[in-house]
Structure 1
């Protein structure tokens, strides 16, 4: 048992007047008003729950050719390194939505010192569809249900379906649906039969609506891509807010990144979409999509906080909730993650200063704890 003291504690919801956390057996045992004789005094710092990235790809190496490198030797070791990069950045839980050969599930069991890994296995996609090369092709209600059952049997923590096409797969189009309403309903029904949350990759409004109608629990990207731009659907945004579905927004890029023309032309529309979603009260969480290219190295989620402030108009406190307690709910680990409270895992991040005033402080972790063990 030991005690960590900091000037401030953000518990996943709000700043507390308390200044000390007691850790015992890898869990939070108590929160104290103060502890002048604490085992570890972090000084003028804020202690908060470890961050949760709701969308990563540990199998992608953030190189210019992440797809081509999948077939190279050493993939598992590269995934281990990627996981360590997340933890070093203060991201103590990641949801892997692009696994290959169930390696992320294996890593979750083999890497107790790393971040907690929640894996969906290979995303379910149409033959030749977005990310088909990860091995999740299925067509028709029967095959889709079988794909969900296979992942459940292998111990997956969630189900992911490529509702629309995507940008990184040749021949796939982000603004087009890949699955019928019946196939999407079959996927959601089967996931819920196995008590698994289901999330859908959806860029176009038609895809977002299809995932919502099918009963998906969260939707990735929610970018409202049209064929050549961005087209927001205000009625659909209100429906998302009323439904309580989580919108896992794609946030976090390296500073100075120049997007390709197809994305650069959409940046203003993407920012406006985030603003509209936040204004409507949609439940927003942050998924970095880490690994898909050089602008998105593993561990980039903290930079995404600045994007939510600048684009969506979120307050820093709202961002902290999105990256901790709300993300834990989206990943269905809210009974042990995303908060500093007695009984919760002692996955903790400390940053110098007050991130409820300056969200950029997330980018400079002062200390990281995983199950009570200091890792950096």
Structure 2
């Protein structure tokens, strides 16, 4: 592939709060060669001058469910679909995510390992979707949260180890466990633990022996505490929900911070006229905000993600709305919010050496938006162009 020079008005590199003015990003063979501010271009470079836009790294959504259709009843709709129909939904969600500037996704719960059938396609055809990391069916108890995806197992450390080995043998990229119940599954409760610390430790040990990271769905404080004690690599949600609210446990917060475990804050949602958050979540929102403020104050990395697919406010392109929510709800600076969907998210997914930044040697995944998200993150959904592995796909 010939050298490509992408020009814009300004650039957020995924790290610095100070934009690069009048940048040129030089790309060859899907990788970034250099980032320049002004100056001459190589004579043999093809130039893509995008005009009055801001360039950013392609977004990284660390928590998606491509198999869910973001309808009012995603579980029921999936139950009615055979595998080929489910794959149609997954492909459409992948294309929608890519068109919004999400160039990397981590699927944390499919049905029957369907996402493995999609994973290699975007490598051969960058326009087919983002780079895909997959967990397969999440490991849960027999009738636990999301059991209907096929990851229900028996109790005890050996049963958990066997489930992890099966996932590893199938070729997953990450192990996902449900340490607590969840809002999507009748008969479970978000604050109630499903596995004990011995089982979670067995999962983490076996995953690490297989060379895989492990991330854990955990809402309730005891489930979060057990996940930290087990040595997991990441915690999804981390809301510290109780039976009737949410309240962070200072000792557990301190343990998370000491271990350097990032929290996947699945806060991103796409506003839809006439559609509100679930009443229980809306009622708890002030308490959840307080929890995340305490997590942030402790220095715990917050990764903004979407949990896409689980309802009408969570379509596959919801992530771009997350940074503005973090600024408005948590009072973070725009640059910090943008890092949470670029470099911080990439690092949490184990891709910090190649994704989430615009820098020499990184993959040429770029998003161009109208406006300046470093001053107004609400500009992030105003997509002007998307590049995946150096190919313009929008």
- TM score, norm. by length of structure 2: 0.92
Runs of at least 5 residues in structure 2 that lack an aligned partner in the other structure: none
> 2:9 maps to what in 1?
7
How many residues matched?
A: 376
1:6-61 superposed Cα distances (whole Å, 9 cap, x missing partner): 12121111133561100111111111222566701122222111000010000000
Farther off after superposition, 349-358 or 52-61: 349-358
- Between the aligned partners of 1:226 and 1:290, the Cα distance in structure 2 is 24
> 1:323 maps to what in 2?
341
CA RMSD of aligned residues (A): 1.4
- Between the aligned partners of 1:171 and 1:153, the Cα distance in structure 2 is 31
Q: Does the residue aligned with 1:301 lie in a helix, a strand or coil?
A: helix
> 1:343 maps to what in 2?
361
> 2:170 maps to what in 1?
154
> 1:122 maps to what in 2?
137
CA drift of 1:205 comes to 0.9
Runs of at least 5 residues in structure 1 that lack an aligned partner in the other structure: none
Go from structure 1 to structure 2 and tell me whether the alpha carbon gap of 1:172 and 1:5 turns closer, same or farther (over 3 Å shift).
same
> 1:137 maps to what in 2?
152
Q: Any residues of structure 2 matched to 1:1-376 within 5 Å, and which?
A: 1-14=3-16, 15-16=19-20, 19-35=23-39, 39-71=47-79, 72-73=81-82, 74-111=85-122, 112-113=125-126, 114-139=129-154, 140-255=156-271, 256=273, 257-376=275-394
Q: Does the residue aligned with 1:203 lie in a helix, a strand or coil?
A: strand
- Between the aligned partners of 2:87 and 2:147, the Cα distance in structure 1 is 20
CA drift of 1:213 comes to 0.7
- Between the aligned partners of 1:6 and 1:35, the Cα distance in structure 2 is 13
CA drift of 1:242 comes to 2.1
Q: Does the residue aligned with 2:26 lie in a helix, a strand or coil?
A: strand
CA drift of 1:260 comes to 2.7
Contact 1:18/1:31 (8 A) holds in 2: no
Contact 1:327/1:338 (8 A) holds in 2: yes
Contact 1:272/1:311 (8 A) holds in 2: no
Contact 2:62/2:106 (8 A) holds in 1: yes
Contact 2:7/2:22 (8 A) holds in 1: no
CA drift of 1:196 comes to 1.1
Q: Does the residue aligned with 1:245 lie in a helix, a strand or coil?
A: coil
Farther off after superposition, 167-176 or 137-146: 137-146
Contact 1:55/1:97 (8 A) holds in 2: yes
- Between the aligned partners of 2:183 and 2:36, the Cα distance in structure 1 is 49
- Between the aligned partners of 1:213 and 1:314, the Cα distance in structure 2 is 29
Q: Does the residue aligned with 1:296 lie in a helix, a strand or coil?
A: coil
1:183-208 superposed Cα distances (whole Å, 9 cap, x missing partner): 00000001111121110000011111
